[in-house]
Structure formats: C-alpha cells, structure tokens
Chain A
Amino acid sequence: QVTLKESGPVLVKPTETLTLTCTVSGFSLSNARMGVSWIRQPPGKALEWLAHIFSNDEKSYSTSLKSRLTISKDTSKSQVVLTMTNMDPVDTATYYCARIHRVDTFGGVIDYFDYWGQGTLVTVSS
C-alpha cells in the first residue's frame, strides 16, 4: 500500500525558511521508476508544481521559484525534504507531495503523479 505523508510547521513568519518533509511507504526512493514531487495550492486557487526528485538525484524546479527552493532525499529514511526560503504571506497554501510514476510507452517515457499525500496547510503570517 503506497502512502505519502507531509509534515512540517503549520505557521511560519515572513522571511523565515519553510522545511517540509514527505515520508513515503509502500515503495522505495531508490526505485528508478519512481520519483517524488512537491505541489502547492493556495486557498481557492489552482495547483502549482514546485519541484521533483528521482532516485538518481535528478532534480527539477519551478522556474519562478527556483531561487528559493531546495529538494533533497534520504533514501534510508524514505523521506523527501523541501525547503523554501524567504517565505511571504502569498506562499500560504496547502503543500502536497506526490509520487511520480515513470513508465515506458510507445511514444517514449512518460511520468505522472499516481499517489498524493493528504496535504499540509502552511500559513505565513507574523
């Protein structure tokens, strides 16, 4: 049974650094066909992709937030960590982690998010 669970502070102050942890079970972060992504959703708004990481340490970041984000993983702990610096009230959102499933198709390799965590609401306020 695949599960992902986000953990971290519910409240951060402006200018602080946010650190979120995604703890996974039911699959290994060393699996070459799996990755983990972070996505956020401000209240009442759309989903926004933040970053992802794969077993070979392949990483990718949202262009607009790249300078503020760092993603890493601890395979032995089955955890993926996202840090976001210089938090602002506009960063108030529910933050999700999701498993990326990588598969081979006729057209080549495709990735999609097949399991999601429940999400954690982070509020940025002084």
Chain B
Amino acid sequence: AQSVTQLDSHVSVSEGTPVLLRCNYSSSYSPSLFWYVQHPNKGLQLLLKYTSAATLVKGINGFEAEFKKSETSFHLTKPSAHMSDAAEYFCVVSAPTGAGSYQLTFGKGTKLSVIP
C-alpha cells in the first residue's frame, strides 16, 4: 500500500520569494515520485520526477525537489516565485501493480497563490 500526504492545502507567497510545498509519502516499494501542476481548467503537467537516480531532481520552470528516504519526504521548492506559478500542485507516488501498469496515488493537492 502507498499513500501521499501534502502537508499544506494552501500556500501563499509574495512574488520573488521562495516557494516550499511539502510532501510526505509511504510506500512498500522503492517508489517513483512525481510532482504535477494543474492550472485552472487544464490537465496535469509533469513538473519533475524521481526514479531512483539523483536525489535532487530539477524540473521545469525552475522547480526542484529533494528525495529524502530517511524522512520519507519529497518537498518541492523554487527560489523565486513568479505570478505564473499560481496553480494547484500534486505530489504523486507510483509503484508497479504487476499487471503491467503502475498505481499512481495522488496527494490532495496544494494550491499555490502568488501575491504581486
């Protein structure tokens, strides 16, 4: 079984200040972890992924995340927020099901607001 906890349902930052979106996971396997972003009325876009290579993962638009096995965390950060970063962010844990697919478990999401 696997689960994801996004510790904040809503984060508000000023433009130009750092962003931190927190995620903790649990998994019976060595998981793959993802962050997806969803803008209003849009589909989910992959920001970055961890797949057992480097623990510090860089993604698109200046985002990065660090996999910490000892803390079972995969927090998302960005040094300087931009207005266009305002969206909902989902932390996702993935594990193979044995039927040729992958079971993706999504967190409940963190809504990021950026104040001008």
A-B interaction = no
List residues of A whose CB falls within 8 A of some B CB.
none
